[in-house]
Amino acid sequence: MEEEEIKLDGLSLNSEPDEIPEKSTRKPIGTIPFKFPHKIYNIPRSEKMDKVLAEIVENKDFLEEIIAEKCFIKDSTVTSITKYNVITAFEFYIKHHDPKQPNVEKDEKCCICLCNYFDDLHKMTYEQLFEHFLDESEDTIVELAKCDGHYFHLNCLKNYISSQKASYMKCPVCCYIYGIMTGMLFRNKVIIL
């Protein structure tokens, strides 16, 4: 009487394994560049991309075009002192998924008013991101040109500039000086005008 061999996924109960099946590994298969007017983010392409990111990728060309239009509109109060970049909810969402970006908090806050830019950004659907983008009543979020990653509400920044009553401003985070700071020297001390 011969023994019957039973095989399960390449393994035999009565013999040495023919071939050990490889574990399925989920590696990103490249990245998709998403171009904003001031920066390019790389969205990791993978088999298990979240639904919102997949919809952003699907509408990439359209979104890049309308975001560029929105980011082109600037406020004269701030541009009289420095250049700035408009940041959208889409950019924040993509930034959270770009592996080359430093870790960012899930809910970032404006350091002037201490309010969140977006409530539960990581839980938003594509439709909610798009509604937020179209909503003119939402406060615009900006990044100063020479301060990477220092974001503010545009209205907070305008009030901050107005309160200084000068032709310059300091970044509230790193104190980088924008504009021209003038003063007088009096007994080896500088007096800012």
Listed by start position, the domains of the chain span 31-166
Res. 17: pLDDT tops 70 = no
DSSP secondary structure, 141-156, as one string: EEEETTSTT-EEEHHH
- Structure tokens, 37: 């007017």
- Reported in sequence order, the residue ranges of the chain that DSSP labels E, i.e. its strands, are 7-8, 11-12, 31-35, 40-44, 84-87, 141-144, 151-153, 168-170, 177-179, 183-186, 189-192
Res. 57: pLDDT tops 50 = yes
Going by C-alpha positions, the residue among 67, 134, 74 that lies closest to residue 94 is: 67
Res. 29: pLDDT tops 70 = no
Res. 11: pLDDT tops 70 = no
| Residue 99: predicted pLDDT | 62
Res. 10: pLDDT tops 50 = no
Of residues 182 and 129, which shows the higher confidence score?
129
Res. 86: pLDDT tops 50 = yes
DSSP three-state, residue 170: strand
- Structure tokens, 103: 């870790």
Of residues 22 and 36, which shows the higher confidence score?
36
| Residue 36: predicted pLDDT | 87
Tracing tokens 């990103």 back to the chain, one arrives at: 28
Top-confidence range, 34-48, 92-106, 144-158: 144-158
Res. 14: pLDDT tops 60 = no
Of 19-33, 60-74, 82-96, the range with the lowest mean pLDDT is 19-33
Q: Place 72 in a pLDDT band, splitting at 50, 70 and 90.
A: confident
| Residue 103: predicted pLDDT | 60
List pLDDT tens digits, range 106-142. Answer: 557 888 898 888 777 778 889 988 888 888 666 888 8
Res. 160: pLDDT tops 70 = yes
CB 169 within 8 A of CB 82: yes
